[in-house]
Each structure stands twice: as structure tokens, then as C-alpha cells.
Chain A
């Protein structure tokens, strides 16, 4: 990402907000699809995770690297009455673990708040400098 010089800290904090927003989207997709047994091709929903990476240069923002699929195995539950259950009565469920998602949700929203706090504090810092011109 391009950092424009004068207010670097603002751009970096905003890149953090954007990145955490993406994490939040991934988590929200996981939670919404935590019981989706068929995504159209007979397999259950596969959990996704937003992979973040640092931008170029020593001081840089963060950017989204990839939305990666979690390749861990699906869970199976016994649900003989379910129309999609196999011959033995087992049903494949998504590899989404709600408690884990809740934990990630906490992390994402705290990180978002932290970025917003940095932005606010930086604004305060510049305002302090501008007070000197009064």
C-alpha cells in the first residue's frame, strides 16, 4: 500500500481497521454457516480465515493477504432422519467451532478498537501541535 507521508499514522491505523473488518467478515460468514450442510456440491461449508500480511517497507500498514479455507476435517453427527444423512445415518457438518469463532470475534473487535484508539490518539497528538500555533 502507498503511504502518503504527511499523516502516515492515519493511513496505517485505517489499514488496520480495514484488515480487522475483513477478519470480522470471515468470522461472520463462519458463524452464519455454522450449520450449513450443503454448499451446492454436497459438501458442508468449509470455515474461512482472513490471512493478514504487513505491507512493504519497514513502517507500513497491514493488508489482506488471502481468505484461506480451513482444510481440517468436517465433523460428523448422527442424524438418521436428516435427508442428507448417509446410509449409516451420519451427517457431515461444517468444521466451524462456535466457541473458537467467538474467541476470534473478541480478538478482531479488540484489535479494531485498538486501531481506532491509535487513530484518535494520533489526532490528539496533531491537535496538541496545532495548539502551539494559537
Chain B
């Protein structure tokens, strides 16, 4: 697989992870006042970095973003650990990362475009 194709796959995997995280955040916010709810987060960067480090042939498409419950935050009066401020911060970071990935992806496709248009 060429480096370029690899890069597009990486970016796609990243964007998929962002969208998974976005749904985790939405779920957390919706359950802000649910008794006993524990918030969800997405584990992706670590698994991805490990896979890249291994250098073995792996298919980024196959990498599923993994949901997990950190169970570390302070518990509020509803017995859950969702903090609106923390979720807003996660959402800001998530959307910035998403934007970065999409921009880089577009840039990569633009290079193909350029190559095709060159006579």
C-alpha cells in the first residue's frame, strides 16, 4: 500500500474515532441528570499509536474506536460523574481535531486532483 493511501486511511480512521467520541459526548450530556450513569469516553489514540508503532500491516479501516467508562471523575448529586464543563471542553477539542483531519484529508485529495489535471 502506498504511503498516500495509508495516510488517507489513517485520516479516515481518525475521523471515525472523532465521530464516535462526539456521540459519547452527546450521550454523556443527555444523561447529565440520570441516576447512577457513568460517563463514556473513546479510546483510540493509544491503540492507533501502538498499531502504527508495530509497523505491521494493519488496516486502519478495521480499527474500531473503543468505548470505555473511565469511572474516575467526582460523583455529583445524581450519582453520576458527568460534568458539563468537562464535556464542553471535550467537544471543543474534538471539533478542532475533526476540522484538522478533514482539512488534511482535503489537502491530500487536492494533490491527487493536481496530479490528474496536469497535462
**Chain A residues packing against B (C-beta within 8 Å):** 6-7, 10-11, 13-14, 17-18, 21, 119, 123, 126-127, 130, 133-134
B10-18, B52-60, B87-95: which one contacts chain A? B87-95
- What are the 7 A-B residue pairs with the smallest beta carbon separation, nearest first? A14-B89, A133-B103, A7-B93, A17-B85, A18-B85, A126-B96, A10-B93
Q: B100 at interface (Cβ–Cβ under 8 A)?
A: yes
A127, chain B: closest CB distance, angstroms: 7
Q: By the criterion CB–CB under 8 Å, are B89 and A11 in contact?
A: yes
Instruction: Give the size of the chain B interface in residues (CB under 8 angstroms).
Output: 15
Q: B99 at interface (Cβ–Cβ under 8 A)?
A: yes
Chain B, interface SS category: helix
Contacts of A123 in B (CB 8 A): 92, 96
A67, chain B: closest CB distance, angstroms: 13
Q: By the criterion CB–CB under 8 Å, are B96 and A14 in contact?
A: no
Contacts of A17 in B (CB 8 A): 85, 88-89
Could you tell me which residues of chain B, from 61 to 119, have a CB within 8 Å of some CB in chain A?
Answer: 83, 85-86, 88-89, 92-93, 96-97, 99-100, 103-104, 106-107
Tell which of B88, B92, B97 has the most Cβ of chain A within 10 Å. Answer: B92
**Chain B residues packing against A (C-beta within 8 Å):** 83, 85-86, 88-89, 92-93, 96-97, 99-100, 103-104, 106-107
Contacts of B92 in A (CB 8 A): 7, 10, 119, 123
Q: By the criterion CB–CB under 8 Å, are B89 and A13 in contact?
A: yes
Contacts of B85 in A (CB 8 A): 14, 17-18, 21
Q: By the criterion CB–CB under 8 Å, are B99 and A127 in contact?
A: yes
Q: Can you list 17 A-B contacts with CB-CB less than 8 angstroms, sorted by A residue number?
A: A6-B93, A6-B97, A7-B92, A14-B85, A14-B89, A18-B83, A21-B85, A119-B92, A123-B92, A126-B96, A127-B99, A130-B99, A130-B100, A130-B103, A133-B103, A133-B104, A134-B103
Contacts of A127 in B (CB 8 A): 96, 99
Contacts of A7 in B (CB 8 A): 92-93, 96
B42, chain A: closest CB distance, angstroms: 13
B74, chain A: closest CB distance, angstroms: 10
